[in-house]
Amino acid sequence: MPRRDDLKRILLIGSGPIVIGQGAEFDYSGTQAAKALREEGYEVILVNSNPATIMTDPELADRTYIEPVTPEFVELIIARERPDALLPTMGGQTALNVAMTLHERGVLEKYGVELIGANARAIAVAEDRKLFGEAMERIGLRCPQGRIATTWEEALEIAEWTGFPAIIRPAFTLGGSGGGIAYNREEYERIVKRGLAESPISQVLIERSLIGWKEYELEVMRDSVDNVVIICSIENIDPMGVHTGDSITCAPAMTLSDREYQAMRDAALKVIREIGVAAGGCNIQFAVNPANGEMVVIEMNPRVSRSSALASKATGFAIARIGTKLAVGYRLDEIPNDITKTTPASFEPVLDYVVVKVPRFAFEKFPGADPVLTTQMKSVGESMAIGRTFKEAFQKGLRALETGRAGWVVGERPVDDRVADDSLAAVEQALAKPVPERVFQIKRALLHGMSVEELHRRTGVDPWFLRQFEELVEAERAYAALAEVDAVSLRHMKRMGFSDRQLAALRKETEGAARTRRWALGVRPSYKMVDTCAGEFPSNTPYLYSSYDEESEAPRTGKPSVIILGSGPNRIGQGVEFDYCCVRAALALREAGYETIMVNSNPETVSTDYDTSDKLYFEPLTFEDVLEIVEREQPLGVIVQLGGQTPLKLVKPLEAAGVRILGTSPDAIDIAEDRKRFEALARELGVMQPPNGTATSVPEAVAIAERIGYPVLVRPSYVLGGRAMEIVYDEPSLREYFERAVRVSEERPVLVDAFLEDAFEADVDALSDGKTVVIGGVMQHIEDAGIHSGDSACVLPPHRIAKEHQDIMRAHTIAFAKALGVVGLINVQYAVKDGVVYVIEVNPRASRTVPFVSKTIGRPLASLAARVMLGETLEQLGYTQEIVAPYVAVKEAVFPFTKFREFDPILGPEMRSTGEVMGISRHFGEAFGKSQLAAGNGLPREGHVMLTVNKSDKAGAVPIARRFRDMGFGLVATHGTADHLESVGIASRRVFKVSEGRPHGIDLMVNGEIQLLINTPLGKSAQRDDYSMRQAAVANRVPYTTTLSGADAACAAIESARAHPASVKSLQEWQAELR
C-alpha cells in the first residue's frame, strides 16, 4: 500500500514551549515528521509557538505558523489553510489534546480534516483511564488495581480501599503533572485536589501502590495492515514509583528472560491492536512483580514520546520518521531501513551494546522545592550514553550529565548527595525516599559495606543492577591498590567506563598524568557503529560511540572536516536553542562542502539525529571524550561557540592540547569571562559598567558592597543561566548569601555589581567575520532589570528604548566585537538607567535569543556564523546590514512552577524558565498577547484585576489601573495599593492581604473572582508576604505578572485583543515583508 494520493496538504502540530515533561524530543519528532512528509511530496502546514526549534525554521514546512498551540488558534489556521489531514501524534500531549478538542468541537468535521496517525477513538481510549482499563480487561491484561475519582468525595471512598501509599494519576496531563504518591491522608487530599484541578476532564486514577515493582517500556509501531514491530525495550533502574522520565533507564531490558520478554511483547501487540493506533508509533509501560513475574499494563501513549526519541537514538530506528510514513499509508515492509539502506523497516532492531539514559534535575534552581521523586516528572533534561556493557554505559551517562561528577562518583560532601553526614545511619535514612542523588547514595552505602540484599530491600532496585554497581566499587578498590598500572588492568577499568579523571582520583594523580600513561600504554577507545542490526548487515551511516574494544568502524573520508560540539543535556539556562544553533551550523557546513561531525550526548535533540551531520559521535562532552574524537578525526577545527557553556568550558584544555578552535579566539572568550580583563577593555572602549568588584572572600565582598552601595547583584563567576545569582539589599543578607548559596575562594571568585533598580534592559545579538560586524537585533526586555535575561520577555524591535540609546548599544556591540576579534556570534547585554547605557555582560558566543532573532529577521544567524568561522566573509554571504522587521516579535519565557509547588513563583536574577514562545504581530499588544497565550498565561478580556504592589511601584501602577478601569475591568486591591489608587481618584474593591484576615486575595482567586493578578514584590521580607498569593495564582491558573512593566505589556495586549479579532499569519508571509 503506497502513499495516499487523496491527501495533499497536511497540518502538523508541534508541542509548544519546552516544559518539564515535554522537551526537545518533540522538536526532533516534529522535524522528522515535516521532513518525511515533504519528501513524499505533501504540502506541510506547521504550527508551533516555540521559536527555538529547528522544526519552525521556514525551510522545514510550506507554511509555518508560530502561533499559540491552542484549539482556537489551530482552528484559525485550519480555516485559513484547509488542510486535508492533521497529524497529531508528533507534538506530545499538547498536540494530542488540541486535536481532541478540535474533534470534539466538530471543527475537524466542519472543515473536512482527517486525523491521521491516531484516530479520535484511539486517543480517547488510551488517555481516558476508565476506558483504558476496560479495554485491557477485554484483552485479558491487567492494569494496576485502580479506581476513577472525579470528586474529592469519591477519592475519599477509594482511599479506604487502596490504603497508603496510594498513587494518583490525573487524566490527560503531561509528564504526570499534578500526580503523585500519597503516604498519608494529608498528602492524599493535597494531591487528589491538585490532580482534579489539573486534569482537563477533572478525573484522577487512584491506584494501589506498585512501589518496588520493576518498570519497563516497549516502543511499538504498527502499520495500516496491522503489522506490528517492537523497536526497543527499556528497563528502569528505579522501580515503580519514580516517573520514567526521572528514572535512570537502560536499553535493551537487562533482567528479562526471553519468556518474560515475549509475554510482554505479546501483550504490547494486543494493546496496540485493541486501542487501534491507526498507523504509527506508541509506547506502552509495564510493571513486573519481581517476586513472581506478574505483569500489569501501566499506560499507553498513542503518539511519539520522550521514550520514543530515546528509543530512536538507542536503536538507530527513526520512529517519528517511519511513523509519519506509516500515517500516510505506507506499510512497514515498503519503507527502507534508513541506517542499513539494504533491509526494510519491518523488523525489530537488535542492539549489541547497552544504552543508559540519566535524567538531569534542576533543584539547585528551586530551593525549597521537594526533591523526592514521584510519579510527577521533575527532571529538565537527560543524557544518554552507549557502551558495550552496562557498566560502561552507566558511567558514561553519569559523566555526560555535566554536573561536575567524573562518573559514578560520590559528592565531595555528604550534602552533595543529599545525605546528612558520613555515617551509615545517615545513608540508610536517605535511601528511604528516592531523590536525584540516589545512585550516589547507593555508592555510599556500598562503600559502607551494605549488602546488595539490604540495598535491594531499602531501594527496590533490582539486585542485578546493584551487583553491577558493587562490581564497580570492587574494581575501584583493586585499581587503587595496584602496585603498578599496566595495560591490562587499565584497559579493564576503561572497559567499565571509568574516565581518566576517575582513574586519576583513585590513584591520587592528575587527569593529565592518567591520560599520558594511558596513551603510552596504547589504551585507546575504538568507535563502533549503531546500525539497528548488531552487525548482521552492512551499514553506511556513521552513527558512532566509543568503547574500549578492538575494532574501530568510523570511516575516514579524507574530506576536510569540522567538529561541532553540542550542548549536552538540557538544563535551565541551556536548552534547545543551543541545539538549534549546532544543527544550523552542521547543515550550513555540509552545504558548504565540509564533512560535519557532531558530538553530543542528548537523546532528545535534532543534533543527535544521525541525519543532521555526516558523522555523529554520541559521546559525553568531557575533555577526555572530545579529545579522543579530535585525535581520531583530525578536523580542520572545532566549533565551540554554538553549544552554550558546555563546549566553552572545554576551550582552555582543548587549546592547551593543540586543538584548533574555529572562530573567536580562546583568548577573546577569556577576556569576556574574566572580570578584570573585561573591565579594562570596557574602560578602553569608553563603555560604562555598573560599579562592581570581584571578591575572593566574604569580608572583601562586604567591602565592595559598601563601596558601590546596596542593592547589589552577586553571583559566582563563570556561570550560565544566572546560577546562584541574587539581588541583595543589605549586609546581613549578603552574609547569609555566602552561608547558604555560594562558597567563595581564590579559585571561585564572586562578582559583586551595583544593581540598577528600575533600569531597562536590552540584549543585542550580532555577527562578525572579524572585520565586518552586523547587528542581528536589538531586543528590549519587558521586565525591568533584575530579572534574568532568559526569564524576561523581550520584544524585537524595541518599543520603549529611545533610538539614541539603541544606537549607542549598536555602536558598543560593534566596538566590542572588533576589539575582541569576534569571528562568529556575539551577544551583549545592556541596561539603561537615567539616560545612561551600561554594559552588563558580553558573551562572544551564540546566545539563547539566536533562533528568535533569526526567525524575526529572516536570516539564519547560526548558519552564517558557522560559515564565517570557516573563513567566508559576511559580504560573501550577503549579510551586510541589520534588518529591522516592519512587524513586532515578542519572546516570552515559560516556567516550571506548577511542578515545584513549594517554590515561590517569582522572577529574579537566577534563570528558572525551561522554554520560550514567540508571538508575532503588526502591533506590540497583539504580539505580547499571543506570547502570553502560548506560554499558558492567557490574558482575560474582562473580569477583575487584583493589584498589590510595593511602595516604589504605587505611582507606576496608577496609569495601568486606569487603563484597566477604562476597559471595564473591576479593580481589586490590597489596602496600601487601594489607598494610593483612591488618592488619585481610582476606586477599587479592598481585599485583605493573606496575613490580615479574610476574605483575602487567595479566597478570591480560589473562587474564580480574579482574572489577572498584578503583584510586585521587592526585597526579601516583602516577597515572603506575597509568596502564598503567587502560589495560589499558579495553582488556580490565574494569569499573573510580578513586574509593572509586565503589567503594562499585559494591559496593552488586552487592549489589542479587545480591539482586533485574533488572526494568524505564517512566518513565510511575515518574512516576505523583509524583501
Partner 1 sequence: MTRAPHHAAPGFLLLEDGTLFLGRLHAPLAAPAVAEVVFTTSMSGYQETFTDPSYRGQIVVMTASMIGNYGVNTQDLESPIPQVAAVIVRELSATHSNWRAEQGLGEWLASAQIPVLSEVDTRRLTRHLRTVGVMRGLVGAGTEPSAVDRTLLAGCPSMAGLDLASRVSTTTRYDWGAADAPHHIVAYDFGIKRNILRMFEARGCRVTVVPSTTPAAEVLAMQPDGVFLSNGPGDPEAVTYAPANIRAIVEAGVPVFGICLGHQLLGLTFGGRTVKLPYGHRGGNHPVKVLGSGEVLITSQNHGFAVEGTAEGIPGAPDLQVTHVNLNDGTVEGLRHRTRPVFGVQYHPEAAPGPHDAVPHFDEFLTSLGSGATA
Taking CB under 8 A as the rule, does residue 356 contact partner 1? Answer: no
Give the count of residues interacting with partner 1 (CB under 8 A).
Answer: 63
x/- mask, partner 1, residues 187-226, rule CB under 8 A, reads --------------------------------------xx
Which one of 6, 550, 747, 966 is in contact with partner 1 (CB under 8 A)? 550
Part in contact with partner 1 (CB under 8 A); list of ranges 14-22, 257-265, 679-687, 1013-1021: 257-265
Least gap, CB of 103 to partner 1 (angstroms): 29
Residue 25, C-beta contacts closer than 8 angstroms, at least 6 positions apart: 92, 304, 305, 306, 308, 309, 310, 603, 604, 605
On the question of a cis peptide bond just before residue 844, with omega within 30 degrees of 0, the verdict is: no
Instruction: Please state the closest distance from residue 726 (CB atom) to partner 1, in A.
Output: 47
Residue 452 or 661: which CB sits closer to partner 1? 452
Choice between 463 and 691, CB closer to partner 1? 463
C-alpha cell at 711: 542593592
HSE, CB side, 13 Å, CA atoms: give it for residue 823.
Answer: 19
Residues 6+ apart with CB under 8 A from 496: 389, 391, 392, 395, 471, 472, 475
171 binds partner 1 (CB under 8 A): no
Which of 370, 549, 679, 758 touches partner 1 by CB under 8 A?
549
What cell does 194 get?
491538585
For residue 459, CA distances in Å to 211, 356, 416, 456 come to 10, 19, 19, 5
Position among 348, 611, 758, 841 found at the interface with partner 1 (CB under 8 A): 348
Rounded distance between C-alpha atoms, residue 926 and residue 795, angstroms: 12
| Cα separation, 927 vs 856, whole angstroms | 12
Identity of the residue, 189 or 260, whose beta carbon is nearer to partner 1 in the bound complex:
260
Residue 535 binding partner 1, by CB under 8 A: yes
Q: Which of 21, 71, 252, 770 binds partner 1 (CB under 8 A)?
A: 252
User: For partner 1, which residue of 6, 291, 558, 658 counts as binding (CB under 8 A)?
Assistant: 291
Q: Stretches 165-173, 291-299, 630-638, 833-841: which one binds partner 1 (CB under 8 A)?
A: 291-299
Burial class (CB in 10 A: 0-12, 13-18, 19+), 1021: exposed
CB of 388 to partner 1, least distance (A): 5
Q: Which residue blocks in 507-622 are alpha helix, DSSP H?
A: 511-520, 576-591
Rule CB under 8 A: is residue 463 a binding residue for partner 1? yes
**Around 116, how many Cα atoms within 13 Å sit in the side-chain half-sphere?**
30
Residue 335 is a binding residue for partner 1 (CB under 8 A):
no
1 is a site residue for partner 1 (CB under 8 A): yes
Does 709 bind partner 1 (CB under 8 A)? Our answer is: no
Distance CA 910, CA 788 (A): 6
Q: Is 537 in the site for partner 1 (CB under 8 A)?
A: yes
Q: Name the strands in the sheet holding 637-639, side by side, starting at the edge strand that comes first in the sequence.
A: 526-529, 543-547, 615-618, 595-600, 561-565, 637-639
Which residues in 613-672 contact partner 1 (CB under 8 A)?
none
292 binds partner 1 (CB under 8 A): yes
* Nearer CB in complex with partner 1: 265/515: 265
By C-beta, is 185 or 467 nearer to partner 1?
Answer: 467
Residue of 157, 333, 706, 942 interacting with partner 1 (CB under 8 A): 333
User: Cell numbers of 56, please?
Assistant: 519552525
Piece in contact with partner 1 (CB under 8 A), picked from 388-396, 629-637, 800-808, 947-955 = 388-396
3-state secondary structure 547-576: ECCCCCCCCCCCCCEEEEECCCCCECCECH
Pick from 724, 721, 727, 791: which is nearest to 1041 by CA? Answer: 791
Q: Is the Cβ of residue 113 or residue 616 nearer to partner 1 in the bound state?
A: 616
Which C-beta is closer to partner 1: that of 344 or that of 1008? Answer: 344
Task: Measure Cα distances from 476 to 183, 356, 401, 470, 977 in Å.
Answer: 38, 21, 21, 10, 64
Minimum distance from CB of 241 to partner 1 (Å)? Answer: 19
In the complex with partner 1, the residue whose CB is nearer, 473 or 719, is 473
972 burial class (0-12, 13-18, 19+ CB within 10 angstroms)?
buried
Q: Answer yes or no: are the C-beta atoms of 208 and 342 closer than 8 Å.
A: no
Asked if 834 is part of the footprint of partner 1 (rule: CB under 8 A), the reply reads no
When the beta carbons of 507 and 901 are compared against partner 1, the nearer one is 507
How far is it, in rounded angstroms, from Cα 886 to Cα 192?
49
Looking at the Cβ atoms of 266 and 631, the one nearer to partner 1 is: 266
What is the SS3 assignment for 235?
strand
Counting contacts by CB under 8 A, is residue 343 touching partner 1? yes
> Does 609 sit near partner 1 (CB under 8 A)?
no
408-439 core/surface letters (b: 16 or more CB in 10 A; e: else): bbbbeebeebbbeeeeeebbbebbebbbbbbb
Stretch that binds partner 1, among 344-352, 578-586, 613-621, 1067-1075 (CB under 8 A): 344-352
Closest CA to 261 of 300, 219, 233: 233
Of residues 927 through 956, those in contact with partner 1 by CB under 8 A are none
Omega before residue 367 within 30° of 0, cis: no
Which of 274, 262, 309 has its CA nearest to residue 26?
Answer: 309
Q: Which is nearer to partner 1, 457 or 677 (CB)?
A: 457
- Least distance to partner 1, CB of residue 216, Å: 12
Out of 101, 150, 151, 227, the residue judged to bind partner 1 by CB under 8 A: 227
Choice between 115 and 221, CB closer to partner 1: 221
Among 388, 845, 848, 859, binds partner 1 (CB under 8 A): 388
Per CB under 8 A, does 336 bind partner 1?
Answer: no
Among the listed residues 419, 421, 368, the one whose alpha carbon sits nearest the alpha carbon of residue 740: 368
Does residue 234 bind partner 1 (CB under 8 A)? no
Q: Please provide the DSSP assignment of 430-441 as one string.
A: HTTS--TTHHHH
Q: Which member of 111, 164, 183, 261 binds partner 1 (CB under 8 A)?
A: 261
Q: What is the DSSP string of 370-435?
A: -----SS----EEEEEEESSHHHHHHHHHHHT-SS-SSS---SSGGGGT-SSSSHHHHHHHTTS--
- HSE-up (13 A, CA, CB side) for residue 919: 30
462 lies in the site for partner 1, by CB under 8 A: yes
Residue 215 CB, shortest distance to partner 1, in Å, is 15
259 binds partner 1 (CB under 8 A): yes
- Min dist CB 554 to partner 1, Å, is 13
Alpha-carbon distance of 839 to 831, in angstroms, equals 6
Residues 885-914 within binding reach of partner 1 (CB under 8 A): none
SS3 774: strand
Which CB, 248 or 831, lies closer to partner 1? 248
The answer to the question of residue 492 lying near partner 1 (CB under 8 A) is yes
Q: Count the alpha carbons within 13 Å of 74 in the hemisphere toward its beta carbon.
A: 34
In whole angstroms, the minimum distance from the beta carbon of 213 to partner 1 comes to: 12
Stretch that binds partner 1, among 348-356, 581-589, 906-914, 1005-1013 (CB under 8 A): 348-356
β-pairing, 249-251 with 228-236?
antiparallel
How many Cβ atoms are within 10 Å of 370's Cβ, its own excluded? 16
| Among 290, 821, 858, 976, interactor with partner 1 by CB under 8 A | 290
Of 181, 229, 669, 842, the residue at the interface with partner 1 (CB under 8 A) is: 229
| 258 part of the interface to partner 1, by CB under 8 A | yes
The residue ranges that bind partner 1 (CB under 8 A) are 1, 225-227, 229-230, 252-262, 265-266, 290-293, 331-333, 342-344, 346-354, 388-390, 462-464, 467, 471, 474-475, 478, 489, 492, 495, 528, 533-538, 549-551, 553
